[in-house]
Structure 1
Amino acid sequence: MTLMFVELALMLVVILIAAELFTNALEHLGERLKISEGVTGSLFAAIGTALPETMVPLLALAGGTSSQTVNEEIGVGAILGAPLMLATLTTFLMTLAVIRARGLNGVITPERSGFVRDLNYFLVAFALATFAMFVPHDIWYVRALLSVGLVGVYVVYIVMTFRASEKLVEGGHGTEAPVAMFLSRTGLPTNLATIALQLAIGLALLVGGAKGFIHGVEGVSHVLGVSALLLSLIIIPIATELPEKVNSVLWIRRGKDTLAFGNITGAMVFQGTLLPAIGIMLTPWEPRPEVFTGVVVTLIAAAWLRIQARTRGVAIWALLLNGAGYLAYLVLTLSR
């Protein structure tokens, strides 16, 4: 047991170092390409840091264990647990990182149009994914249409996010790199090749660190006797969402609210469209109590964020309530 906790600590250090490398390289990439913070955070950062939690359900469904039922439970739980974690606990932890500096009555001010766009697309997509749970398996063509529709939603989302970029850059929302790129401190020039190299190093460390952390978490969960479904709904997302948590905390503490929130909401759109599209077709995708409870909490938390998207920013006290949503989910699920 002691070795398991040592492994968790070491992997957390790897993830923290990787997040610094990754966010630093992304800022330079966004500045070099002259793209908005919305594109950098909601697309580049979100997709990159979503790799660990994306790999878990895919590997599970591809035959992670000898039991198909366990594979499907891990797949469904990991697919639905990630958006739940992002909308509740990750948002809460990001807010907690600046509450002392900004106060309970302060605000977090992501660029509003991108923030609203992310949440609108997520709510539509996740509502479709939820509806699919109630479609009988023998009506396979309806489930297939919903799956294709979710992929289409994400494609449209990418197009609309890039279309908005140029105008946002002109309006002062371009990505800026406040410090020199880390690799340049070794004497290397700062160009697209070295930016790509640092991104690759950071991403490899993020994925490797997250996988190591998952391994440690799984070991602890087995000792505690946690079921495969609960493991994938509650425990695995805590580990796989670490890159998003750390990146958003780093950015929010530097005053980069758009990048911090875009990393979260962009990952929500990615994980609320493409992964459920796979789950609908390759898993039972049924409204089991623990699954449906998580879906409802996720939709409520995302809707709450959308309601709070005011012109002056999102109130810190309101964001802290998203953490209460995760606590409520734990109580409802574990008390069954």
Structure 2
Amino acid sequence: MIILYVIAGFLSVLVGGWLFTNAMEYISYRYRVGTSFVGAILSPILTSLPELIVFLVALLLYGDASGEDVAVGTIIGEPFVVSTIIYPLIFIIAAVGFYLKRRGDVVLEVDRVLVIPFAVVIALFPTVLLPALIKSPLIRFSIAVSLIVVYLLYIHVMRGRQGIVIEDYEGLYALKIVKGIRVREWLLLTLQLGISVVLLFIGSNAMVEGIIDLSRSLTLDVMGLSIIIIPTATVLPESITAVIWTWRERDTMAVAALIGEKVLYSTVYPALALLTTRWLLSIEAIIGVIVVEVVSAIMLYHVIKGRLTWDVAVIGLAGYLVYILVLINHGI
């Protein structure tokens, strides 16, 4: 029964994210927003809503220690899952595309402007460990405010490097459903966004309940388990976008969507957690931070060269294996 509950939540989050991503792409196309800004800023902000809802649900509806562990685990787990699972996935897509002659090679060619978000992640993501060592509310508040300010500055910098505008947009799903019927586009957009948010909320609620119950039945650490399961589900919207862009050989947009997500989870979301949780970290969380830092540093080296190679995927998978082994041993 618990597994079915988690699966139902997973599917709800997936459908909600799918609808929401489509609406986000329509907005970016309609208002002529450049590809760099879409990939590194707009896409991460909107596709991260599933994680934000999970975070808020865990805190507001499950305000005990287990709920806070799920919330903190979700914040740390997003960059971890992207670094260890999603990066290898887009390399697999690139390899398949190359084999089917839809791509010129299996190397991801990226714009060097992505040095900016990678540098932000490497510099700021480790700060999520500081509140566990520093108990002063004033220092915690100062760190949270500083992270938000940095993210606003990051948006300002990236805004000046928007790139070309997306032209081959497939259309708003709601418009296709009511094709032939005169309905205002803004109304359909609002309706689709509303449905997606409801699905995301319902799915997030179900997954939080399932994670807590499953961890208790398996005697596993709640935070450790949430770092794997919840982000793996809620990361799907930006992952699907990255996969499509990789298939179309738009490598900069694919990588930007993922690293932009990691920037958000190195700044704004940790700031929210700092202001609302006890912020106690388990050994699994610390290992997750270390893995993210290692993979990000290696990718930064490649981004400086303008080319990402397969060794990033191998190192990411190795970090995931280490984490799983630690989680199992610690749970036992």
Q: Name the TM-score class by shorter chain.
A: 0.7 to 0.9
My pick for the range that moved more, 309-318 or 33-42, is 309-318
**Matched residue type, 1:155:** L
In the other structure, the counterpart of 1:47 is 45
**Matched residue type, 1:260:** A
TM-superposition CA deviations, 1:207-254 (whole Å, max 9, x none): 544544555555544443333222322222223323333333333334
In the other structure, the counterpart of 1:72 is 68
Tell me the secondary structure at the aligned position of residue 33 of structure 2.
Answer: coil
Residue 329 (structure 2) pairs with residue 335 (structure 1): yes
Tell me the secondary structure at the aligned position of residue 265 of structure 2.
Answer: helix
In the other structure, the counterpart of 1:238 is 232
Alpha-carbon distance in structure 2 between the residues aligned to 1:190 and 1:253: 33
TM-superposition CA deviations, 1:123-176 (whole Å, max 9, x none): 222133334443x31x433332212111111111121122222xx23xxxx223
Alpha-carbon distance in structure 1 between the residues aligned to 2:149 and 2:167: 31
**Matched residue type, 1:53:** E
In the other structure, the counterpart of 1:248 is 242
In the other structure, the counterpart of 1:314 is 308
Q: Using structure 1 for the length normalisation, give the TM-score.
A: 0.81
Identity across aligned pairs (percent)? 26
**Matched residue type, 2:108:** I
Q: Using structure 2 for the length normalisation, give the TM-score.
A: 0.82
Consecutive unaligned residues in structure 1, runs of 5 or more? none
Aligned match of 2:156 in 140, 154, 159?
159
Alpha-carbon distance in structure 2 between the residues aligned to 1:239 and 1:215: 15
In the other structure, the counterpart of 1:261 is 255
Alpha-carbon distance in structure 2 between the residues aligned to 1:331 and 1:143: 32
In the other structure, the counterpart of 1:177 is 168
Residues 24 and 46, structure 2, Cα contact 8 Å, conserved in 1: no
Alpha-carbon distance in structure 1 between the residues aligned to 2:166 and 2:281: 41
- 1:325 Cα shift? 1.6
Alpha-carbon distance in structure 1 between the residues aligned to 2:212 and 2:278: 23
Residues 117 and 260, structure 2, Cα contact 8 Å, conserved in 1: yes
Alpha-carbon distance in structure 2 between the residues aligned to 1:196 and 1:177: 22
Alpha-carbon distance in structure 2 between the residues aligned to 1:7 and 1:156: 41
Residues 147 and 280, structure 1, Cα contact 8 Å, conserved in 2: yes
Residue 105 (structure 2) pairs with residue 119 (structure 1): no
In the other structure, the counterpart of 2:102 is none
Count of matched residue pairs = 323
TM-superposition CA deviations, 1:7-47 (whole Å, max 9, x none): 55555555555454444433332222222112222222211
Question: Structure 1 pair 21/255, CA: closer, same or farther in 2 (3 Å)?
Answer: farther
Residues 81 and 232, structure 1, Cα contact 8 Å, conserved in 2: yes
Question: Structure 1 pair 254/14, CA: closer, same or farther in 2 (3 Å)?
Answer: farther
What RMSD in Å do the two structures reach over aligned CA positions? Answer: 3.1
Residue 145 (structure 2) pairs with residue 148 (structure 1): yes
Consecutive unaligned residues in structure 2, runs of 5 or more? 100-104
Tell me the secondary structure at the aligned position of residue 97 of structure 1.
Answer: helix
TM-superposition CA deviations, 1:174-209 (whole Å, max 9, x none): 223343433333326795554454444445444544
Question: Structure 1 pair 193/261, CA: closer, same or farther in 2 (3 Å)?
Answer: farther
My pick for the range that moved more, 78-87 or 287-296, is 287-296
Alpha-carbon distance in structure 2 between the residues aligned to 1:63 and 1:204: 16
